[in-house]
Amino acid sequence: MSQKAQNVTDYPNNNTIFSVWKFKEGAEIKEAFEALCGLVNNLNNSFKVRVNAGPTSCILGVSHDAWLKLDLPTPLPKELKNFQEIKGDKHTAVSTDADLHLHLSAINSAICYDMAMAISKVLLPVADCIDEVQGFKYWDGRAIIGFVDGTENPIGEDRDYFGIIGDEDPDYKGGSYLFVQKYIHFMKDWDTLSTEEQEKVIGRYKATDIEMEEGKKPANSHTALTAIEDENGNELKIIRANMPYANPSKGQAGTYFISYASTFSTTEKMLKNMFIGDPIGNYDKLLDFSKAISGTLFFVPSLDILDNYSAE
């Protein structure tokens, strides 16, 4: 059984490149995919040896439709599907079409560049890069809006438990569900709020990153609506690897939201709480200052599966 996971439980690094690809119509994609699988393994192994500069990772995700185009194993991973938009009364989590997702991460931006160039050489003949985002660490892990991002991430052994598929889907043990959204923040509107008003939107104190007390934290705050429990009251978590990005000369700044999880249903419930509301209409106030312009679900196969498809 496939067990060895890609580096989905790594903590966010200083520099990141996210690239999203769509296969060209009629392209011969299987040979390129086999080369890509081998390259992903090679890049991960090579930089561990070449560079003593902290963790480096290259993570490959495959969408539902790409899985079928590539004639990958059936039955598919249990929760791999095309993400359907989630439409609330005011805000929408849009669905966007893509085939492959690459998440490149390193302390040194030169490493991300070299990995991206190597991947592009393999994919450009058969696919178009429909989005590329260069993320960076902002101060002490804060989003562009000034609050620490990912405070509720699982730590230690819980990262494997919540981030990697286990015996519940034995054919895909070691895999993970990857969901991405690219958000644009309306910084001019956000910056007009006082610190106290911003804290009520997020549900945390800005300077200390401490969660607001019950009774003070609004029901439509971001932290209130993204705290998920199962039917027995056990907290459910996802691994967020979010990174800020910006184009200051164009007045653009945002967050690339990226989650890894052993089940997509947890992420999906968070999204429904945010965009539709819990109860309905009590949507995430942060969405009044942010807009999701993409939304795609991918599956991250185990390293064993990548090995099986790697070109010799």
Distance of CA 13 to the CA centre of its chain: 14
Grouping H, G, I as helix, E, B as strand and the rest as coil, residue 36 is: helix
Number of residues in the chain: 312
Please give the Cα distance from 180 to 294 (Å, whole number).
8
Please give the Cα distance from 249 to 88 (Å, whole number).
32
CA distances to 6, 166, 199 from 264, in Å: 17, 14, 29
Q: Is 166 left (phi over 0), alpha (psi -120 to 50) or beta?
A: beta
CA distances to 33, 66, 228, 229 from 270, in Å: 32, 25, 7, 10
Helix-helix angle 109-123:30-50, to 10 degrees: 160
Instruction: Cite the active site residues.
Output: 149
Residue 42, CA atoms < 13 Å, CB-side half-sphere: 13
Sign, CA dihedral 280-286-291-297, equals negative
